[in-house]
Structure 1
Amino acid sequence: MKWLFVFLVLINLGLYGFSKLDTPPANINITQREINASQVRVVTGQLGKTSEPSSNPDSPPAALATEAPSPTPSPKPIATALPTPQATVQASAGTCWRWAGVTGEQIENARNKIKSLGLTASETSSGESTKVWVYMPPLDSLEIAKQKAQQLAEMGVTDYFVVNNGGRWQNAISLGIFSTREAGERHLAELKALGVKSAVVRDRDDTLKQASFNFKNISDAQAEKISKLPATFTGSVVRELKCK
């Protein structure tokens, strides 16, 4: 029995030795595993810093990773506060009107009418100090005189009215009454410069006493009342003027 046991042991030892001799030893080239190992870097997320080389020689070389630089933010436009426009409040100063061509006994009635309307006016009349009159001689009809007056307005003449009182100077066009002949002649020269050709200057005629009334800062409601005055005072006219 002992020899049988020894014999089996020897057989096992022989099989073990034969298996070791039959298997070729593994040829491991350690240098191949360490090719470029010193260049391996592990990115930690911060630029300019690298980790130590990998301690595992079996791991393949890691590719270098580069973090893209953050784009530089564009500067935001600075909002500039614009000055707040201030509302310009311009109070209306009203309009200016002239009521002219009031003659003879109508003058006193016109003064009373102005007071009854609650208005204030400056009066210009041919009193005792009036010496000369600038006018255009009577025309053939009232219609022609009105047409001529319209032409005067288009030429820039502002102080005029058509005489329509049925008297000696019916259909004449008054262009102003002055206290001195020098003032009358000066006004006549201004009219000639505007293109008025038929105007003349004459001494004051007592039969044509006349007055005009100037109104300033008139509201629309007051202007409507003034515009209706010629309907009551024959021969008078009203017109809107530029305020001075």
Structure 2
Amino acid sequence: MKWIFAILLVINILFFTVMQLGSSHGSEPMRGHDPVKADKIKLLAEPQKALAMPEPPVASGDGAFSEVKPEICLEWGQFSGDTLKRVVQVLEKLQLGEKLIQRKAEKSGGYWVYVTPRKTLQEAQKKVDELKQIGVQESYIVREPPVMQYAISLGIFSTAETATKYLDQLREKGVKSAVSGPRTQEINATVFQIKDSGESMTAQLTKLKLDFPGSELKAVECRKPARDE
């Protein structure tokens, strides 16, 4: 019985020794790793939200968008009768195509230089022939009744000053029967507009204008002819 007791005692001693050794090893930190320090632990900040895309700029009413400028044309006029036919022939040689717009002259306002009405169409035509003999090639017999029928239009102008200036030129040529005044009656006249006219075209038209005294060449806002023109 004593040897059994001795064996149990040895087993208890060994068990106690193993337990002590295990406890001492568990208290040491793992080799190759620093011990965790609670006071150094920091929570990660929340991830930043994606930056919002900047809103597109809003156009303000103070000229943020430049105003579209109107298209500018050269306007040449006003022509009627035989003069209109000559101008058409001249412009056809320039081969302007769709750049050329033909329309009726404005019906209101303006001034004109004219020879007072003759009694008959034959007398008016005779006067036109006399004017051509002294160098006045541009004229038009008004045929619309009643007041100015058989008057002879020598030029239509936008201002009284330009009409008076042309009248003075006619008087220097010996035309004594011509007068100037407001255009109170509609005259069947035509004007031409030329689009996309550069310096070269402007120079050509300025030169051609010299062959048509009384006509006016100016820059205006382009416009489309009315359907009834």
Q: TM-score normalised to the size of structure 2?
A: 0.39
Q: TM-score normalised to the size of structure 1?
A: 0.37
Q: Which has the higher contact order (CA 8 A, sep 6+)?
A: 2
